[in-house]
Structure 1
Amino acid sequence: MSETTSGVTWLTQDAYDRLKAEYDHLSGPGRTELAKRIEQAREEGDLRENAGYHAAKEEQGKQELRIRQLRHLLETAQVGEAAPSASGEVTLGSVVTVELAGEEMKFLLGSREVGDAGGLDVYSERSPLGSAVLGRKAGERVSYTAPNGREIPVQVLRVEPFTG
């Protein structure tokens, strides 16, 4: 679901399969299709005034970046299902309910690459809130510093495994 400090990315099998299919398409047929579009645009003449050529080249750059991101993610992936922590601690793949600034909030601690988080907001363990609750147990109070410099109190209310 998310990258840990050791550089391993934890993904559900469904997320891994979806990302692998995207990688296979982009690095195979997707590259071929885009190369053909660039060649067709190149044949239209003056490249300085060829909007189709420049748009296709820009798309190619974005596609190559996504291919590199996917390759890294898949190479560092550890595939499995979220399991409840035996210690009851917040871990990657946990659905966490907290009291934040007086309001109850429920979110998945993981990666947006999971795809369907069941309508839950997803927070990275590297975010201020995610890093504050990682390793905490239900009942624990902690605080984190918001980007505006304000100290935000948080209490972990419940920790559950993500079931997809």
Structure 2
Amino acid sequence: MQQIPMTVHGAEKLRQELENLKSVVRPKIVADIATAREHGDLKENAEYHAAREQQGFCEGRIQDIEAKLSHLQIIDVTKIENKGKVIFGATVTLLNLDTEEEKTYRIVGDDESDIKLNLISVNSPIARGLIGKNLDDEVTVVTPGGDIDYEITAVEYL
């Protein structure tokens, strides 16, 4: 498995989720299964089957997170000298040259991306168009909705 890039914050959130699954969710599911077993015949016991299904999802997510954590490449941009270059973890402010609208995005790993929070995946069309570019560069980003011309007005390593 290849290295999975992630910010310090993203790795911490993943570790917290894993801890919650192991210390809160898993024990609750085990208790739910025990309670459902007490209700008798397991063939027609909906609570038992629902709890077993939840257990499968929980264990699958635990395995998924543990695999990701074992292949993490944590990138802390605050420890990198900012020379205005767009890199993984950078926060980039873009000026849409057609609409004059400004947008700010942070380029993060796949698991931590959330467009509502302006966290975009390093593999997204916008991030792929920005990586390696510099402050004040004009870039054309190819998106499913068409090409968009931007000027990079700020590059921050927060």
Where does residue 146 of structure 1 map in the other structure?
143
Match of 1:90 among 86, 89, 110: 86
SS at match of 1:45: coil
Structure 2: which amino acid aligns with 1:134? Answer: I
Native 8 Å contact 2:110 2:123 kept in 1:
no
SS at match of 2:85: coil
Once the two structures are TM-superposed, the CA of residue 88 in structure 1 deviates from its matched residue by: 1.9
SS at match of 1:32: helix
Consecutive unaligned residues in structure 1, runs of 5 or more: 1-5
Native 8 Å contact 1:106 1:120 kept in 2:
no
How many aligned positions are there? 152
Where does residue 108 of structure 2 map in the other structure?
110
Identity of aligned residues (%): 28
Q: What do the CA deviations read for 1:30-78 (whole angstroms, capped 9, x no partner)?
A: 4333123123213323445433223322322321232123212321223
Is 2:72 aligned against 1:77? yes
TM-score by length of 1: 0.73
Q: Distance in 2 between matches of 1:110 and 1:62?
A: 25
SS at match of 1:10: strand
Where does residue 27 of structure 1 map in the other structure?
22
Native 8 Å contact 1:85 1:91 kept in 2:
no
Where does residue 54 of structure 2 map in the other structure?
59
Consecutive unaligned residues in structure 2, runs of 5 or more: none
RMSD of aligned alpha carbons: 2.9
Structure 1: which amino acid aligns with 2:52? Answer: K
